[in-house]
């Protein structure tokens, strides 16, 4: 399973799972707010995805704006498992 690693400005580092629920909620949020598609809003989508991953994993109770103020600018990294590298049956 893929996870997202979030570094906060206070030095805390959390990892949370990137579940289908997180990914779908980000997409719905982006469409409802008419964010630009694809790479045009990828930074905004990445931060919102990290926020939802932490929220659904019960690692934050902050609202999005407060959470965003406490995240390091380079503090979002998506990590995959070894099986994500390719088809294990090949």
* 37-74 pLDDT tens trace: 878 888 899 999 999 999 999 999 999 999 999 999 88
Residue found by looking up tokens 């694809």 in the block: 38
Count Cβ atoms below 10 Å from residue 52 Cβ, excluding itself: 23
pTM of the predicted model, to two decimals? Answer: 0.81
Say if CB 56 and CB 26 are below 8 A apart.
Answer: no
Instruction: Specify the 3-state DSSP secondary structure of 14.
Output: strand
């Amino acid at each position: 399973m893929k996870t997202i690693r979030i570094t906060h400005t206070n030095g805390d580092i959390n990892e949370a799972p990137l579940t289908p629920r997180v990914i779908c909620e980000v997409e719905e949020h982006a469409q409802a707010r008419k964010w630009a598609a694809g790479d045009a809003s990828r930074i905004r989508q990445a931060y919102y995805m990290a926020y939802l991953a932490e929220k659904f994993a019960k690692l934050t109770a902050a609202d999005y704006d407060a959470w965003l103020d406490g995240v390091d600018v380079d503090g979002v990294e998506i990590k995959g498992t070894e099986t994500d590298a390719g088809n294990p049956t090949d």
